[in-house]
């Protein structure tokens, strides 16, 4: 059976890993959660044991939902007496997207109405609503015209552990605290004899979560006590009680063996008082060394353990104004007091993380409620003088030029942050010769895996002939140092394409032959890219909006991808529920790449045709009909198999043949990146209606180069 575990954004891959470790058959990261395969008992075990999940949702029905009448009818079709006893209370949480249903509260009300009507007709008794402690909590999700009704097996937010009596001004959710601890490797560090320090502990969330984790206490035990989390009729009561009995035995052993290696400091006496109260409620009285002390008072020798983990959630939101100076003091104090320890710090953003002065081995984007934060992991806090963060020779402080590039990179990241967050963009252009003397493009690729990694793809532009090569090399080295500093990546995760002078002028040198592919996400598609072995990576980032448009328009269409390259547009069409796809390219290597991309998205079958042929010749011989066509030809090619091709000379012939293959209401998107290209509008108008849409297809990260490509929308006359 499939179910869904929700979590805060940024925890998805960690949650999927945790659920598999808890015994679920399979778990894959999704937006703000994980899609999980397993039994009902697996789901109930997750309710009891997951430290990261917000809710565990067990689906009971799914149906088409174009409007509120369909929503009511779909819910009313469920035999609710099989799920709910007469006299039980209910509550409905709703999440809706799309044009038909726009108000979550209204949608929840319609679900409640349908349940009440069915129960009243079947039993003569009307269920009451109890928002805080219902017997049955339902969850509604409406997305892309489909509704899913699920049972909330935990009966509410799982981050509430049951021990919190008091909280500070800006409390950290317990599941976010668990993520900070897990990313820092706390369970292993404790097992190896290490301690846990929070120098700005507030009400003690990180320390208490860390202590309960070390004691092997199931997070659901205190939350639910002796009560069932849900009175849903399908709930496996015997299975739940067996899980709880086993958890209590583990808790008894774990608490008996728990070592007092927990240290909390805070400059606010009210915060430490709240931490002591919470410590008692969590059954940890006397185990945490809590002291009122400012961060600058933390000194060498205060914590006598040789190894351990520092965790901290320094102030950063609008209520607790972020102060870079405080972050600098934090980093300085940690280097002084616990230089050999590891640190996992939840900072307000990349700038504040950088202000700590700690070299991050790993960086993660995590949402604490609605606030996007940067979680950094430094190991150790202060590397030895001759060793850098990745075990390499220590780097000198950035020079003036490199610092200038680093500042521009950080400025660009801040500028793009809201857009990337809103659109879910993980692969993007971060720099494009913004500083003329540092002439290169830097693209960022984040992998789609349990522990996401950041790769950089750097392409040097041709320098003017009057720039000496030593100056060129120095500037490139400064740019590379700045990029590695800002993104915190090791050398092996940076692909550099440098230009060298040779016969015929500047050209790119030989490429690596690593055969290393990484998988990235774009919209709902997963795509394989190769950053090292080819000039291009397999994914043209500037065409991202065009591919997403294809995905949005592809449903039930026959899609044709001409000059298909690695098939990224084909994958988007297939993921967008195209009826059939055809991809045409002369390169067998690219077609195999396309096949691998399709397979990575679980797409196969005869409906998805790959054709190795010259696109022009194939078009003129083909008799098929297509509803949606994407044509992105090269500027020029001189293939031995197909002869010379020049887009300026051949575009009318190419488009005439492509438009002839369009269905009556079909659409052709034509794009190219030849900067001096001129569309022959008079010739095109003889057979097609043509509209330039270039401005709509240039994403924000390519705004500096708005002519990187041009794009037109064509229909048959």
| Domain extents in the chain | 2-152, 174-215+258-378, 400-508, 539-716
Structure tokens at 129: 């609503």
Strands 518-522 and 288-292: unpaired
pLDDT at position 499: 61
**Tell me, what's the pLDDT at 119?**
96
User: What's residue 513's pLDDT?
Assistant: 65
pLDDT at 625: 96
Cβ within 8 Å of residue 261, ≥6 positions away: 190, 194, 195, 196, 305, 308
**Is residue 122 reached through a cis peptide bond, with omega within 30 degrees of 0 on the bond before it?**
no
CA 621 to chain centre: 44
Can you identify the CATH homologous superfamily of domain 400-508?
RNA methyltransferase domain (HRMD) like (3.30.750.80)
As beta bridge partners, residue 166 has none
| Residue 63, phi then psi, degrees to nearest 5 | -155, 160
| Separation of alpha carbons 714 and 660, rounded Å | 11
pLDDT of residue 320: 42
CA-wise closest residue to 123 among 81, 75, 91: 81
Q: In what helix (H) or strand (E) does residue 98 lie, and over which residues does it extend?
A: none
Residue written as token pair 């809706």: 96
What was the pLDDT predicted at 501?
A: 44
Measured distance CA(575)–CA(596) in Å, rounded: 14
C-alpha closest to that of 359 among 484, 184, 226: 484
Which residues lie below 8 Å from residue 391, measured CB to CB, with a gap of 6+? Answer: none
**Rounded distance, CA 559 to CA 569, Å?**
10
Length of the chain: 717
Strand, helix or coil for residue 507: strand
Q: Give the mean pLDDT per block of 10 residues along the chain (717 residues).
A: 94 95 93 94 97 97 94 97 95 89 91 96 93 94 93 94 70 93 96 96 96 96 85 96 96 96 94 94 94 90 90 72 79 94 91 86 86 90 60 55 92 93 94 94 91 90 84 89 87 81 45 79 95 92 97 97 96 96 95 95 94 94 96 85 84 96 96 94 96 96 92 95
Single out the residue of 673, 621, 629 nearest to residue 647, CA to CA: 673
Alpha carbons 294 and 278: distance in angstroms, whole number: 21
Q: How far apart are CA 485 and CA 226, in angstroms?
A: 51
Structure tokens at 253: 């052993």
Q: What is the pTM of this model?
A: 0.62
Cα dihedral value 81, 82, 86, 87, nearest 10? -120
The two three-digit tokens of residue 635, written as one number: 């500027």
* Domain 174-215+258-378: homologous superfamily in CATH: Vaccinia Virus protein VP39 (3.40.50.150)
Q: Which tokens in the block code for residue 198?
A: 């929070």
Q: Is the dihedral of CA 15, 20, 25, 28 positive or negative?
A: positive
Range list of β-strands (E), 369-504: 371-378, 427-432, 440-446, 454-460, 494-497, 499-502
To 5 degrees, how large is the angle CA 307–CA 313–CA 314? 110
* Strand 427-432, strand 371-378: pairing: unpaired
652 vs 549: CA distance, rounded Å: 24
Residue with tokens 């330039």: 692
Measured distance CA(593)–CA(217) in Å, rounded: 47
Strands (E), 425-577: 427-432, 440-446, 454-460, 494-497, 499-502, 505-508, 518-522, 525-529, 558-562
Alpha carbons 1 and 97: distance in angstroms, whole number: 25
> DSSP of 187-242, one letter per residue?
HHHHHTT-EEEETT-TTSHHHHHHHHHHTT--HHHHHHTTS-S---TT--HHHHHH
Residue 199 corresponds to which tokens in the numbers above? 């120098």
Torsion of CA 198, 200, 202, 208, to 10 degrees: 0
The closest alpha carbon to 104, from 128, 151, 138, 140, belongs to: 140
Per-residue model confidence (pLDDT) at position 463: 83
- Residue whose pair of structure tokens reads 């793009």 in the numeric block: 416
51: Cβ contacts below 8 Å, ≥ 6 apart: 18, 174, 175, 178, 182, 209, 213, 219
Integer Cα distance of 487 and 433 in angstroms = 18
Of the candidate CATH numbers 3.40.50.300, 3.30.2130.30, 3.10.450.200, 2.160.10.10, the domain formed by 2-152 belongs to 3.30.2130.30
Q: Strand runs (DSSP E) across 144-186, as ranges?
A: 146-152
User: Hey, what CATH topology would domain 539-716 get?
Assistant: Rossmann fold (3.40.50)
**Closest by CA position to 512, among listed 492, 498, 533:** 533
Per-residue CA distances from 393 to 177, 390, 400, 491 (Å): 33, 9, 21, 12
Q: Are 383 and 350 in contact (CB under 8 A)?
A: no
SS (H, E, C) 285-341: CCCEEEEECCHHHCCCCCCCCCCEEEEECCCCCCCCCCCHHHHHHHHHHHHHHCCCC
Q: What are phi and psi of 47, to 5 degrees?
A: -60, -40
The reply to whether domains 174-215+258-378 and 539-716 share a CATH topology is yes
Q: Look at the alpha carbons of 410, 414, 419, 422 in this order and tell me if their dihedral is positive or negative.
A: positive
Q: If you write DSSP's letter for every residue of 586-630 in order, what string do you get?
A: S-HHHHHHHHHHHHHTT--STTEEEEES-HHHHHHH----EEEEE
């Amino acid at each position: 059976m499939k179910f869904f575990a929700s979590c805060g954004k940024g925890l998805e891959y960690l949650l999927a890993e945790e659920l598999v470790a808890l015994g679920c058959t399979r778990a894959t990261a999704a937006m703000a959660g994980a899609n999980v395969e397993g039994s009902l008992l697996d789901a109930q075990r997750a309710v009891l044991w997951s430290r990261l999940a917000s809710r565990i949702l067990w689906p009971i029905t799914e149906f088409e939902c174009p409007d509120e009448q369909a929503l009511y009818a779909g819910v009313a079709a469920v035999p609710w007496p099989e799920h709910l006893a007469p006299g039980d209370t209910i509550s409905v949480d709703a999440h809706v997207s799309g044009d038909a249903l726009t108000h979550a509260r209204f949608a929840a009300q319609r679900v409640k109405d349908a349940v009440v009507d069915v129960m009243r007709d079947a039993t003569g008794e009307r269920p009451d609503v109890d928002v805080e402690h219902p017997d049955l909590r339902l969850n509604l999700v409406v997305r892309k015209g489909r509704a899913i009704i699920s049972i909330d097996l935990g009966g509410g937010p799982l981050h509430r552990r049951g021990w919190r009596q008091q909280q500070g001004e800006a409390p950290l959710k317990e599941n976010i605290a668990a993520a900070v601890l897990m990313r820092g490797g706390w369970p292993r560090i404790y097992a190896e004899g290490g301690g846990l320090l929070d120098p700005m502990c507030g009400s003690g969330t990180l320390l208490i979560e860390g202590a309960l984790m070390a004691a092997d206490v199931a997070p659901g035990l205190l939350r639910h006590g002796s009560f069932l989390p849900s009175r849903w009729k399908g709930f496996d009561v015997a299975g739940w009680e067996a899980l709880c009995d086993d958890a209590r035995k583990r808790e008894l052993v774990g608490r008996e063996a728990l070592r007092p290696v927990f240290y909390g400091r805070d400059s606010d006496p009210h915060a430490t008082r709240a931490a002591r109260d919470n410590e008692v409620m969590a059954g940890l009285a006397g185990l945490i060394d809590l002291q009122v002390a400012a961060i600058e008072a933390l000194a060498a020798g205060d914590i006598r353990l040789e190894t351990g983990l520092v965790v901290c959630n320094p102030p950063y939101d609008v209520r607790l104004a972020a102060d870079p100076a405080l972050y600098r003091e934090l980093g300085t104090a940690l280097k002084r007091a616990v230089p050999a320890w590891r640190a996992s710090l939840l900072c307000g953003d990349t700038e504040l993380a950088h202000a700590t002065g700690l070299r991050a081995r790993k960086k993660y984007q995590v949402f604490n409620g609605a606030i996007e934060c940067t979680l950094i992991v430094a190991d150790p806090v202060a590397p030895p003088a001759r060793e850098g963060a990745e075990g390499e020779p220590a780097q000198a402080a950035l020079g003036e030029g490199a610092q200038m590039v680093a500042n521009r990179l950080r400025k660009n990241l801040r500028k793009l942050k809201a857009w990337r967050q809103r659109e879910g963009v993980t692969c993007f252009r971060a720099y494009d010769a913004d500083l003329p003397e540092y002439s290169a493009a830097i693209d960022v690729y984040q992998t789609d895996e349990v522990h996401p990694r950041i790769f950089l793809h750097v392409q040097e532009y041709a320098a003017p002939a009057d720039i000496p090569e030593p100056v060129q090399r120095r500037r490139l080295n400064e740019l590379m140092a700045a990029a590695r500093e800002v993104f915190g990546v090791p050398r092996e995760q940076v692909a550099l394409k440098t230009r060298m002078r040779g016969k015929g002028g500047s050209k790119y040198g030989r490429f690596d032959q690593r055969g290393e592919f990484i998988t990235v996400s774009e919209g709902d598609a997963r795509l394989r890219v190769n950053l090292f072995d080819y000039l291009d990576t397999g994914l043209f980032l500037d065409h991202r909006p065009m591919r997403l448009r294809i995905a949005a328009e592809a449903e039930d269409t026959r899609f044709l991808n001409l000059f298909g390259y690695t098939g990224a547009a084909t994958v988007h069409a297939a993921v967008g529920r195209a009826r059939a796809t055809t991809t045409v390219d002369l390169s067998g290597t690219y077609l195999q790449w396309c096949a691998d991309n399709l397979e990575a998205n679980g797409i196969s079958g005869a409906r998805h045709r790959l054709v190795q042929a010259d696109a022009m010749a194939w078009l003129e011989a083909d008799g098929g009909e297509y509803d949606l066509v994407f044509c992105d030809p090269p500027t020029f090619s001189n293939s031995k198999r197909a002869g010379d091709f020049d887009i300026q000379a051949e575009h009318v012939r190419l488009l005439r043949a492509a438009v002839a293959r369009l269905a009556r209401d079909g659409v052709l998107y034509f794009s190219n990146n030849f900067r001096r290209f001129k569309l022959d509008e008079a010739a095109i108008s003889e057979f097609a209606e043509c509209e330039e849409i270039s401005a709509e297809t240039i994403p924000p990260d390519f705004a500096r180069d708005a002519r990187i490509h041009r794009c037109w929308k064509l229909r048959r006359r």
